[in-house]
Chains A and B, each alone.
Chain A
Amino acid sequence: MSAAAMEMSCPPTAELIAAVQRADSSQGLLLATQALAACADPAAASTLVEVLGFNNPGAAVAAVDGLIHLGPGAVDALLQLDPENYGARAWAVRALAGIGDVRGLELLVDALGTDVAASVRRAAAKGLGALRLGDLEPARQAAIQARCLDALLAATADGEWVVRYAVVVGLEGLAKASPLEPAAQGALKAGLQRLQVVSAENPTVVQLRAQLALDHLSPP
């Protein structure tokens, strides 16, 4: 859709923001957030980030979708979030994981290593395998890859199967995104092999996903 067409099909962003702030019911907030997310205007970012703190999961999902759609334009607003607001931070991790902007690196590493909620660690693990590094100079690219790899390898020992599953997906994404140095490549594969091992503590679904990742990385 062209910018002109979008302007015609979408009320002014200020009106949509006002509607979110006016919403006085759970359903009303959900609908207003969906409308604001759909306008795809970077000016909506800070209001969408505010919605993450409203303790309304439906609206937060819509806001996360909208923020991911805004992409790098939403990152500043996300990083300004109050770190004490735990609920909002959990949603912000999901948004940053979906956007893949390297400015989210520290928050994702911290979330994967320390967040108490498995759903947040899970999103962070996937996000660390999906950062967009293409435009960076090689030395910076390698440094960020190394940070992602270290964080993901440490999380192969996470106590929750779903986080280890996401770690597999993150490691596979990291390896596929851009070439790794041989030592890093070896460490990454060793991490996947640990998660492929049959054991009572490691559910079959994690083993199967790790096998699939190893197959993808070493075509026969």
Chain B
Amino acid sequence: MEGTSDIKSVFWLGTSVMLFLAFALVFLVLFYQNHFIKMKRNEAETLLKTALDSEKEERQRIAKDLHDSVQGDLSAIRNFMVILEKQTKDQPTHSLVLETKNAIEKAIENTRTISSKLMPPLLETAGFSAALKDYLTQLSVLSGKEFLFKTDLVAVQLPATFSYELFRVAQEFCQNMLKHGHITQALFALYATTEGISLEIIDDGVAFDFKSAYQQSKGSGLHNIQSRIKSMKAELVQREVTVGNHFVIYLKLSL
């Protein structure tokens, strides 16, 4: 009788302990992996933020160097060329001097454009809306396509970090529209939402699925967009449309 009771006890105790240990192991592994993934994500986010910050700083530095140094030197050379142009007015070398002066003026203009593209001065002085509006106006002139901008956030200023990242995202979208989308018209609309702001990007170009294009893409454009969206902790939503593409970027902000 005692043996029977012993077997019963050992059986139920042993089975319970073994089952407990098996489930405990599974839950422990799941918990640890979850913790491990979070740690890795945090690490990746920090790395991404550092990379984007360094890129921004480097852009700022190059833009400043181009503006203060190269552009300054070129302006000085142009001034000399103006004097030289006057002095050689009736000489056979005059046309050559004139051509050189024009080339220098073109170089100054190009340097200014590059410097502005690297770090739009309006972004710091007038904010995101003004910088994007200016950029889209210039792009419309240069590309011959219609880039429109609408906003109800005239008086509101976005924080500097978000302004820069959002501007770069808009820039990447524009480059994609021109390079792959073959658009004729695009609209950028910036609105206030209950939780922050939303930037709608609508075009009439070649339709594409962002997610699958991002997974297949070997270039840096879509990856840049995704990285910046991630660094802002924003959300990119693609809406279904019959023609072209419609994206909305939701950014949580306390305005």
Do A and B belong to a common assembly? no
Which residues of B does A touch, CB under 8 Å?
Answer: none
Which residues of A does B touch, CB under 8 Å?
Answer: none
